[in-house]
Amino acid sequence: MIRILSFALVVLALAAGFAWLADRPGELSLIWQGQRIEMSLMVAATLLASLIAAILLVVWIIRVVWLSPHSISRYFRARKRDRGYQALSTGLIAAGAGDAALARKMTARTRGLISADQEPLIHLLEAQTALIEGKNDDARKKFELMADDPETRELGLRGLYLEAKRLGASEAARQYAERAAEKSPHLPWATLATLDYRSQSGNWDEAISLIDQSRASHVIERKEADRKKAVLLTARAKDKLESDPKGARDDALAALKVSENLIPAGLIAAKALFREDNLRKGASILEKLWKHEPQAEIAKLYVRARSGDSAVDRLKRATKLEAIRPNNAVSLAAVAESALEARELSLARAKAEAAARIQPTESIFLLLADIEEADTGDDGRIRHWMNQALKSPRDPAWTADGITSPEWLPVSPVSGRLDAFEWKMPIAQIAGPVEEHAAETVDAAIRSLPPVSVKAAAEPVKRTPEPVATPVREEPITRTIAVPAPTESVLVPETVVVGTTTVAVPEPKSEKPKTPPRQVPDDDGAPVEPFFGRPPDDPGVRETAPSAEKTNFRLF
């Protein structure tokens, strides 16, 4: 475009000059070797311009003839280079497609047409060809040569890093990533890999400084960098909590400033503040987190913020949490647990059943079993709730890469990835069947409770599950029902295997008695009172002496 404009300007200048001379006619007289030459000024200017053009044409012809050998050689050299680049392109495509034979053929052709010093991509083609042929040692040597060349250093380190990761050489991969991050801090893969390795080794200070550098150079997006920095600050605060509560508090509060909804940071900050007797600020942090996402850990720490509180005081604090997030299963469960400790059993039962209707999980049914034990001591009802707990989904937990942890961890123990743990239902539970109508299921479970308790011969079942580190689903419930052929209406026991303990659950006869139950004399002659609400110690079906009058033993 500039050349066209320059040519147009030159033409316009010449035209303007000739027009100016045409408007001003004159005579030009020249005496040379005794001869007088006269001509007009316009003719003289035309002859001068023609002479200059002829001289330029002669110079161009001489230059073309003089430089023709070099031009011819350059033409053939360019043609050869083009063929080499075409072979290089075909070889890279073949290597990417996994065609080892074509890639090797194109590598040899490229070597013959282009020098490796002239085009570094030839090393990449050779390395890729060696990889798809299974010659990993040759490929690694090629990557090492590329890593020593300043022009291909980044590409060589990337190849060495991937090879080390493939072979499981974590230390070598860490060194390659740190070397790449040091030489080229703008590489995202090197920065993230170095960050993960420093996090796995617990070098929180170096990891935080690397995050700050990456954010300043715009290697990592601002939102992602803030999240990772908050996680690193929380991890450092977690390590300092026992030895340096003040430092842990500062780091946790700094993490909350960067990511205000990071629950582990809020929990650590609240613990540190509670140790400093700063109950108000710690409680406000927990209340803010509770509004965002209710969790059992938040409720437990909030309710037990002050060690000297009574059970009634803890119930008041749990009620305050319920007021913040009403109609929430976690809120109702927190109130039910605190009410159980305060011996407000009716309130505990109402809140627990409401929580079970909203979200039936394992812990809420275990809590109902505890309430049942404290309220009635009815073994039949207790085992009923235990059976429901075994059949219900597990509670949400800190989950990452297919495993669960009883507490939050900054780095996944499986993949070593930073900020991998999430608060969610374990994967094994998500893959299983999920009840769609939770409220109807819980109502049916409550209605199916046996109206009478039968003291089981089995040992009591432990109802407090220990923290599970892996998402292993409990063994399926095995139910064996032994039905004899009775001649009279008797109570048929039902044997249920709960985990590793076998308990006997009564199954009352479905037929309704047409007459009121009669008092059956005990062994010592004392009549047995029928049950209308209190939990008896029913010894089961007793063998009574035969009498003239036929007696049917009925529960109702």
User: Higher model confidence: residue 522 or residue 221?
Assistant: 221
Distance of CA 526 to the CA centre of its chain: 67
d(Cα 231, Cα 204) in Å, to the nearest integer? 10
Does 491 score more than 80 pLDDT? no
Predicted local distance difference test score (pLDDT) of residue 469: 40
Residues 458 and 468: beta-carbon distance below 8 Å: no
**pLDDT digits over 254-296, tens only?**
999 999 889 999 999 999 999 998 999 999 999 999 999 999 9
Predicted local distance difference test score (pLDDT) of residue 315: 93
What is the average per-residue pLDDT within 423-441? 56
> Which strands form 478-481's sheet, in the order they lie side by side?
478-481, 492-498, 501-507
Does 206 score more than 70 pLDDT? yes
Distance of CA 216 to the CA centre of its chain: 25
pTM: 0.63
d(Cα 505, Cα 381) in Å, to the nearest integer? 9
C-alpha R_g of the chain:
44
| b/e per residue 422-454 (b: at least 16 CB within 10 A) | eeebbebbeeeeeeeebeebbeebbeeebebbb
d(Cα 233, Cα 226) in Å, to the nearest integer? 10
Does 228 score more than 80 pLDDT? yes
Beta bridge partners of 493: 506
Q: Which of 91-100, 271-280, 326-335, 357-366 has the lowest mean pLDDT?
A: 91-100
> Which strands form 397-400's sheet, in the order they lie side by side?
403-405, 397-400, 422-424
What is the average per-residue pLDDT within 208-218? 86
As a dihedral over the C-alpha atoms of residue 377, residue 380, residue 384, residue 385, rounded to 10 degrees, the angle is: 0
User: Higher model confidence: residue 229 or residue 500?
Assistant: 229
Predicted local distance difference test score (pLDDT) of residue 511: 43
Residues 128 and 143: beta-carbon distance below 8 Å: no
Domain ranges of the chain: 11-82
d(Cα 440, Cα 59) in Å, to the nearest integer? 102
Does 388 score more than 60 pLDDT? yes
d(Cα 192, Cα 183) in Å, to the nearest integer? 15
Does 83 score more than 80 pLDDT? yes
**pLDDT digits over 448-469, tens only?**
555 433 333 334 434 444 443 4
Give the DSSP per-residue string, 237-285.
Answer: HHHHTTT-HHHHHHHHHHHHHH-TT-HHHHHHHHHHHHHTT-HHHHHHH
Does 119 score more than 60 pLDDT? yes
The DSSP 8-state label assigned to residue 203 in this structure reads -
Q: Which of 127-136, 297-306, 539-548 has the lowest mean pLDDT?
A: 539-548
User: Higher model confidence: residue 23 or residue 156?
Assistant: 156
What is the average per-residue pLDDT within 161-182? 88
User: Higher model confidence: residue 232 or residue 214?
Assistant: 232
Predicted local distance difference test score (pLDDT) of residue 357: 92
Predicted local distance difference test score (pLDDT) of residue 324: 93
d(Cα 250, Cα 254) in Å, to the nearest integer? 6
Q: How many CB atoms lie within 10 A of CB 462?
A: 12
At 494 the three-state DSSP class reads strand
